[in-house]
Structure 1
């Protein structure tokens, strides 16, 4: 019974699972060799699968590798973004005439995490704390409740019987609290792949001993904008114009070509919808819409060679390279897979302009969180940054800027939330 509970950080981009160890501390499970976090990705492979058999599933880095290596199958990412939408109970094609409900994709991923934890614990796990963003769906409480209910249903499908939820930024605050020696007001900024969540939290060594911390949560706020949105804007700004995004048609009308296919190609969970036979045929018939036939040919190369996810990866890599580089640097984006010798460029000013509206929305969400708590920006003692997207230095600086007297503290970008959820599970279940 010592290991009869766990905590799961089911993230848009990466996930982790925490267990109590034999010293009554919390430790993250090694979910892949040498790794405490795993990409939230599932690959349904058709290779070696008989017609009557279900596709074999690969998870995490194995899933991404299978896709990059060109194995026959379907890659699923950003599954969390489907929670709260009408897609959750709908089926999605995974190849070979097979369809899988999105909810079952999520439960299958949770089952994999649970099995890894049970292997380490040496016992079944029936109690769990699950992390959740402040808002699955902005401004729609009913859909937000539906999203949590769907995640709970997925967890129950894999054998969890007692389930508790904790806001992800609160979990990060619990992890941070272990480092403080006096009472502080902390703005926790959890900027992940799909959501940017903020909480204004009161922490102290004395309060750390409490299980019920509701009185210490002064405000929660969040927006459904984060890292994958940055990648989409960068791809639309720097890469997809070379395949016809915002291109014009022939004279005399010179109408802009339809943009929906480009938005779909720049959105992780919609990319595969572009590859269906009906959609592909429709796109081929659009040749006459383009004044420059080469642009349409590149679009069809993306579709025929299924390069959508690879191009998203190149956009993300370029975004990171620009953020890590020197001011004024221009990053070259190699597009040889699309066309030999083809190259795009991304300058820092271009990248920042592409994501400016999203950056400002995130910054204002942090300011609004303090306002909701009745706390002036100068009263905030610390800004605690966690989540994969806080590695983008300009974003971190912008978030912290309104809180001029606060020190900026960086947590483990990928593991702080899971660690904090484990601490909360310990207090709830131990």
Structure 2
């Protein structure tokens, strides 16, 4: 059985063909989109979960040999934490978020691991750790999809961005693809192919096109933005190879997560002392605040959780004109609730698609604490990443050396009126079409899987 697998930065989804149409499979209850999150009782237990859930005897044996020392440490961690053999140690999707919110200090939580896969300079042990995180997630999602389908899935097409990382070039892309391939194989996929995500979104759109046109596909996902100029239409969709139709493309690691981070910094960090003054009259340093919200940056998170940062924040509390504000940042670090703060930024972004102003409760920081957030503030906060997205659209069109007939916009972030206005300003009078903001990539991957494996 084949399937399209959107292993996204924000959400994951699996699609299959059902009587000639794409069907997105329920993964948890009736939920077809699973947040790209993982929570483990301890990060050292992730490899044990991976080993336990590898179906192939040969693959499991090879994995256990490679991770022998880590698996042995996992057994010791179980004993130290008094975790029984039958106890759940790992959760994915909404279950991961629920466990993180309930037990932020007791486990290991990661959101959008796909954002880290192309990071330059990763050591081999770091690559192995990301392989384990992605494998554990893929195993869980595949298991849920097969339960819904009541069939095994052995072949898949997985979406990939044009570029996984803003820097690092093809070396970063290769590193990320190798991690994803290894994880997919350990999850039980016997055949794995990849397709550019904007092209996948375009394939879904192309199904209903009545005439050939040049389309600019703008896919603003959680971790990356990809723009592709593609020839599409009835005479193109029958082709098995679409390389000649791919006229220009650009992509960078800038997406919905970056908007959440910038909004969280602008809207919420003043409540934690950002912009306040020290007793000396100097302004509070901004770096600890940026490190707190940059949840998609490995180095920033290591710095924020470091002992040196704890000492810095304690000193800033002593030096601050208003120490109670900075104490909130220290508490955020101590209780590991910075992911929850950025989640509030994400929720605010979504709510501001339908409202000009919302009020966000921040009771996990301090009981009764709330903060108003306006669409105007959101637009101001995200100007930096928005300029980068606009530059990517311009770059793709420049590469194509022709003007598109229409623009097809997809990706959950693209629902925001602020984003839509920026796209319209960049492209002038070119018509803009909306796709299924969440399901179009999965649908395109599934249709391509049918072409390859059907």
Q: TM-score, normalised by structure 2?
A: 0.83
Q: Which has the higher helix share?
A: 2
Equivalent position SS for 1:406: coil
Contact 1:36 1:415 in 2 (8 A): no
Distance, in Å, in 1 between the alignment partners of 2:433 and 2:246 is 19
Equivalent position SS for 2:134: helix
The alpha-carbon deviation at position 308 of structure 1 amounts to 1.3
The alpha-carbon deviation at position 298 of structure 1 amounts to 1.4
Who is 2:411 aligned against?
387
The alpha-carbon deviation at position 361 of structure 1 amounts to 1.6
RMSD over aligned CA atoms reads: 2.6
Out of 119-128 and 413-422, give the one that drifted further: 119-128
Distance, in Å, in 1 between the alignment partners of 2:88 and 2:320 is 39
What do residues 207-260 of structure 1 show as CA deviations (whole Å, max 9, x unaligned)?
212211111111111121111111111111121122122433222xx3333433
Q: Which of 253, 269, 285 is residue 240 of structure 1 equivalent to?
A: 269
Who is 1:27 aligned against?
23
Who is 1:43 aligned against?
39
Asked if 1:206 corresponds to 2:235, the answer is: yes
Who is 2:427 aligned against?
403
The alpha-carbon deviation at position 344 of structure 1 amounts to 2.6
Asked if 1:147 corresponds to 2:191, the answer is: no
Q: How many residues align?
A: 411
Who is 2:98 aligned against?
65
Distance, in Å, in 2 between the alignment partners of 1:111 and 1:89 is 22
Asked if 1:306 corresponds to 2:336, the answer is: yes
Equivalent position SS for 1:101: helix
Contact 1:8 1:15 in 2 (8 A): yes
What do residues 14-70 of structure 1 show as CA deviations (whole Å, max 9, x unaligned)?
01112233x244322111211221111111136996357696111111111222233
Distance, in Å, in 1 between the alignment partners of 2:444 and 2:344 is 32
Contact 1:89 1:103 in 2 (8 A): no
Cα distance, 1:321–1:30 mapped onto 2, change above 3 Å:
closer
Who is 2:222 aligned against?
193
Tell me, which stretches of 5 or more residues in structure 2 are unaligned? 43-77
Who is 1:216 aligned against?
245
Asked if 1:365 corresponds to 2:430, the answer is: no
Equivalent position SS for 1:188: strand
Equivalent position SS for 1:131: strand
Distance, in Å, in 2 between the alignment partners of 1:166 and 1:231 is 27
Q: TM-score, normalised by structure 1?
A: 0.88
Distance, in Å, in 1 between the alignment partners of 2:396 and 2:406 is 14
Cα distance, 1:232–1:82 mapped onto 2, change above 3 Å:
same
Distance, in Å, in 1 between the alignment partners of 2:217 and 2:174 is 23
Contact 1:332 1:344 in 2 (8 A): yes
| Superposed counterparts of 1:226-265, under 5 Å | 226-251=255-280, 254-265=281-292
Contact 1:363 1:399 in 2 (8 A): yes
Contact 1:130 1:166 in 2 (8 A): yes
What do residues 355-380 of structure 1 show as CA deviations (whole Å, max 9, x unaligned)?
1122122122112211110113xxx2
Equivalent position SS for 2:5: strand
